[in-house]
Amino acid sequence: MLELKGIRWQLESGEEILKDVSLTVPDGKLTVITGPNGGGKTSLAKIIAGLEKPTAGEILLDGKNITDWDITERAVNGIGYAFQQPVRFKGIRVRDLLELAAGETLTEGEMCDVLGEVGLCAQEYIDRDVDASLSGGESKRIEIASVLARRNSKVLVFDEPEAGIDLWSFTGLIDAFEELKHKHGEALLIISHQERILDIADNIIVIADGKIRMQGDKDEILPKLLAGEKGNKCPLGKDKKGGMQ
């Protein structure tokens, strides 16, 4: 179980991105964080994985305070994190990345299983470099696979896994998340705007303007998700009666 208590984070410029965020990601459940862009969701994921250090607050993993742990220490102790923007390498193959993630040599069958979960055929991909020759969707799927390949994970964080993934592969991904939830019992945290991911959530947390706007059971949150949301206002006032014509 992962708990965040009173997390605050600000940029060097002093702008506060996260303003006192407290939440719990329970084991065996899928928690989805959603909310408008720029609300602080990715910052929160980076703080969980240790890429950023909060200016205040505590992070607890199974009750243990891990706030001061670095990225490696958190990873070794079971925190997995799939980047929103996958990183590209020169000379590191898909096979290498998956084996580094698993911490051991993988058989072709094992690579087939993990790549299959993101809709890729192992035979076509394991010897390809994780570089710019991969399309956006392909590199995104390999990024997700690298997290699925981790062993002994306790908390898995996926930052917008749907971005760049086509409709057909997406179904496979939804299945993979559901399977993770039921089979392995990790605490799953997905940042997403995708309705189908929200649909399979157990809990939904809405973050806007660096704060939790609401959180709770999916059935309770989903119906009121967009209540009170307004689209961006037109700076020229075109959206107002009698505004600029």
CB 26 → other proteins: shortest distance, Å? 22
- 64 DSSP β-pair partners: 61
Least distance between other proteins and beta carbon 147 (Å):
8
Closest distance of CB 241 from other proteins, Å: 48
Indicate whether 58 belongs to the interface with other proteins (CB under 8 A).
Answer: no
Segment contacting other proteins by CB under 8 A, of 26-34, 74-82, 180-188, 210-218? 74-82
Among 14, 63, 91, 235, binds other proteins (CB under 8 A): 91
| Segment holding 46, helix H or strand E | helix 41-49
CB 202 within 8 A of CB 31: yes
Write out the binding residues for other proteins, residues 198-227 only, by CB under 8 A.
none
Does 90 engage in binding with other proteins (CB under 8 A)? yes
Query: Which strands, in side-by-side order, build the sheet including 187-191?
Result: 79-82, 155-159, 187-191, 30-34, 203-208, 211-217
Report the residue from 60, 75, 198, 208 that binds other proteins according to the rule CB under 8 A. 75
DSSP result, 108-124: HHHHHHHHHTTT--HHH
Q: Looking at the DSSP assignment, which residues form a beta bridge with residue 30?
A: 188
Q: Which of 234, 233, 49 is nearest to 156 (CA)?
A: 49
Please report how close the Cβ of residue 78 comes to other proteins at its closest, in angstroms: 10
Question: Is residue 60 within 8 Å of residue 91, measured between CB atoms?
Answer: no
96 binds other proteins (CB under 8 A): yes
Least distance to other proteins from the beta carbon of 159, Å?
11
How many separate helices (H) and strands (E) can be counted in the chain? 9, 10
Cα distance between residue 135 and residue 164, in whole Å: 9
For other proteins, which is the closer residue by CB, 72 or 245? 72
Tell me which stretch binds other proteins (CB under 8 A): 27-35, 36-44, 73-81, 210-218: 73-81
Chain residues in the site for other proteins (CB under 8 A): 49, 51, 70-72, 75-76, 80-81, 83, 87, 89-93, 96-97, 100-101, 103, 129, 146, 150
